Structure 1
């Protein structure tokens, strides 16, 4: 009688419904991966095997296979929400135990660690003190301390001085209080060792001689005491082709300037920096102007690039690399062991984790300010639910029919 086969069909349909129900329940769960029930038929066989005309004995659940297809990526307002576009898993550290997830909803804990809601730390490639990424991985720890100030040492100026400018009548005396004593100037903010800002102004005056200009640097005003005298020479010279020929290397070094209580400020001005200075027959213009100092600063934001590079932006305009997100992939993701809470553990058949940077080794890239949703298709689940229900009803009908036949046999006299 087909009772046992039909009963196995009922059990299989129930298993299918449980899997579908779990999928539907997690349709809104971040990083959830749907499962699929896989069935296999059952054949009754003796020690000598089944005959060619053997009748099956029902069905069994062969596997509950998770489907690791990409979920829909939705954007958020939190830079620390991360989604993987492509293959791979985030690596989590829980007191030395590794787990793997697609759920990238992270935040910063009180000690500067990047963690999920369970307190598990995001594993990343570590950065050294210079911001260089090393090959060592570990729980990411952000340095939330203020960045120390750096005194300005070098100024770069890229400008064009008008070749049509005649010799200044006041040459060689430059007096910032008298605009007629110089032909042009440009200013920028520089910093001392305490991070205090100072206004630095470079004054230029056309001197006698082809392509020769006098240059002086003043800090914080126009008083004579604010003048910083060059250590050797105060002129810059351009050749017949309009390019800088003197000083050698294009840099003027100035005597140290007292900025009590900070350390004395010794500055150089490089006229051949990012954009070399020239003397052409066009109006004066400043094409580049920069310096290498900065004030103290504190973290204003954390940015994470597609490559997984994690950078901290500071209020003083500086940027520091803190690490790089590490992703893991497996030869057989189906072999991963589900742990719950949207995480998996390495399994015997999954293979060992292959850890690398995002965008390499078939790994996806990181999308910051985004989360990967569940890959559950509700319409697909509803159709599967109807199918499983019909299977259940059909197997129940088989049992009902078999019962009727059995009752008929019992009633035979």
Structure 2
């Protein structure tokens, strides 16, 4: 009975974590470039015991979250018409420089031109390599292979080129908030190159990549998780009642 109590309690804790993951996915269902989280459960250890017939068996001790990993399937493209909005069609991440000088990576291409004329994310991270847009420039254009041009003083000038980074295992990247990822040992180091080269995707201007969260799928997962939590809680109540009955036999 004690094992049943602990197993059910571990299941409730695991399902609560699953609910947290689902809630975060639903909260980011419209976040640009967001990649949904998926939680995988693993079973806990087993306790051996001897069956009445003499054979040995095992009783499990419940479940726990094994990992929470990002699913990097591409989200749906959303046309915006803004010159500084970019979507990656295929594999790859934009490189940005954070305030501490470190590099981070993102699929969110909702860029803007900051006060110094540099292409940056809304939260201030600068696109890397740096792209400087001169004052008074017009007709900003980004080609599929990353070349950035604009009309300056009546002439078309190339302002720079955008690179993309790919990773051997994108699922191993660590989410850092603000739509950013940082490399880990599991992800491997970045392999940087021009869009469209090797296994990298291409760029589309005036388009944003939406979240890859499917609200319908998350709602089904929410109901399933809620039912599993409810069932585990009933096991806790039943185990507690059985223990009470067993203790009452001494009277």
Q: Same fold (TM over 0.5)?
A: yes
Q: How does 1:379-398 map to 2 (within 5 A)?
A: 379-398=216-235
Question: RCO greater where, 1 or 2, for CA within 8 Å and sep 6 or more?
Answer: 2
Q: Aligned ranges for residues 177-192 of structure 1 at < 5 Å?
A: none
Which of 77, 80, 101 does residue 76 from structure 1 map onto? Answer: 80
Alignment of 1:277-288 (within 5 A): none
Q: Does 1:98 align with 2:103?
A: yes
Distance (Å, rounded) in 1 between the aligned partners of 2:137 and 2:6 = 68
8 A contact 1:303–1:313 mirrored in 2 = no
Distance in 2 (alpha carbons) for counterparts of 1:367 and 1:103: 12
Residue aligning to 2:92: 88
Following superposition, the deviation at residue 315 of structure 1 comes to: 5.6
Aligned residue among 144, 161, 182 for 1:345? 182
Q: Which has the higher helix share?
A: 2
Displacement after TM superposition at 1:77 (Å): 2.3
User: How many residues are aligned here?
Assistant: 241
Quick check: 1:338–1:344 contact (8 Å CA) kept in 2?
yes
Query: Mean Cα displacement is larger for which, 114-123 or 36-45?
Result: 36-45
1:112 shift after superposition? 1.6
- Partner residue of 1:115? 120
Whether 1:325 aligns to 2:184 is no
Runs of 4+ aligned structure 1 residues displaced above 4 Å come to none
- Partners of 2:143 and 2:169 in 1: how far apart? 28
Matches within 5 A, 1:175-324: 299-314=137-152, 316=154, 318-324=155-161
Contact 2:69 / 2:172 at 8 angstroms: preserved in 1? Answer: no
CA contact (8 A) 1:43 1:54 kept: no
Q: Which runs of 5+ in 1 are unaligned?
A: 125-138, 146-297
TM-score where L is the length of structure 1? 0.56
1:69 aligned counterpart, secondary structure: coil
CA distance in 2, matches of 1:61, 1:402: 23
Unmatched 5+ stretches in structure 2 = 49-54
Matched with 2:60 is 56
For residues 110-189 of structure 1, the aligned pairs below 5 Å read: 110-124=115-129, 139-142=130-133, 144=134
Return the match for 1:42 from 17, 34, 44: 44
In 2, Cα distance between equivalents of 1:301 and 1:52: 76
**How many angstroms apart in 1 are the aligned matches of 2:219 and 2:171?**
24
Superposition deviation, residue 323 in structure 1: 1.2
